[in-house]
Amino acid sequence: MRFSMIIRLMSFVCLLPIFDSTSLAQDAGVKLPKGMKAHRIQGGEKGKDGWYEAKSTEGHFRVLMPIPFNDITITLDDSSELVTYMIASKNAQNQGFSVLEMKGKKPPTKDTLKEVVNSFREKGGWKVSNERYFKYQTFPAVEFQTSRPGDGGWSRYIQLPDRIFMLVVENPTGSETKIKSETMRFFDSLKIDPALETKEKK
């Protein structure tokens, strides 16, 4: 899976301005990258607790977001056949919240989760801590914290037989303590479509 390409597109998605459709975004001069379809931009209705329930239009999950969100599908036109369903946004304090459901031509392997963590360790400047492996909705998962000068965040990866779910919270240095409770609520609110769980058991 071409994670590097998706990460670059994720940064674009988080910063999309306030428009309510792909056509409106284009009319206002926002050029969407090739293969990207915008279902909702800065969408959602705030609940009584101040959070927004976000259901992916074409994906297989729903999640609670602390801020209005962008609902996107990205299809890479290459040999990877990677399709990514994304809910993502970033606030004025530069704190980002993202969920990506990624399904490609090649399924994950038994070592995928460990490879993900090691890939961060191998990147220059990143420190990885608080790594833990567990089950989420019966699926293997890993959660860890990353940091480097200026910024950091938390990541949670959930592995299904044919796809990966990636949850990421980005935060500037100094806001780690404040954002920790929001991070865990965001992570734990993810609901994967029960149909995928049924598919795994067959």
Q: Where would I find the H helices in 43-149? A: 112-122
Q: Tens of pLDDT along the chain (202 residues)?
A: 444 444 445 444 444 443 344 444 544 455 666 788 888 888 899 999 999 999 999 999 999 999 999 999 988 776 668 899 999 988 888 889 999 999 988 899 999 999 999 888 887 678 999 999 999 999 999 999 998 888 888 999 999 999 999 999 998 877 666 788 899 999 999 999 998 876 655 5
Question: Is it true that domain 3-201 has CATH number 3.40.1000.10?
Answer: yes
Global confidence as pTM: 0.84
CA distance 169 to 100: 12
- Which among 75, 72, 41, 42 is positioned nearest to 58, based on CA atoms? 72
- Which among 69, 180, 189 is positioned nearest to 130, based on CA atoms? 180
Contact (Cβ atoms closer than 8 angstroms) between residue 97 and residue 186: yes
Q: Which two tokens stand for residue 9?
A: 């597109």
Give the three-state DSSP class for 121. helix
How many of the other CB atoms lie within 10 Å of CB of 25? 19
CA distance 128 to 116: 11
Q: What is the four-CA torsion angle of 127, 133, 138, 139, rounded to 10 degrees?
A: 50
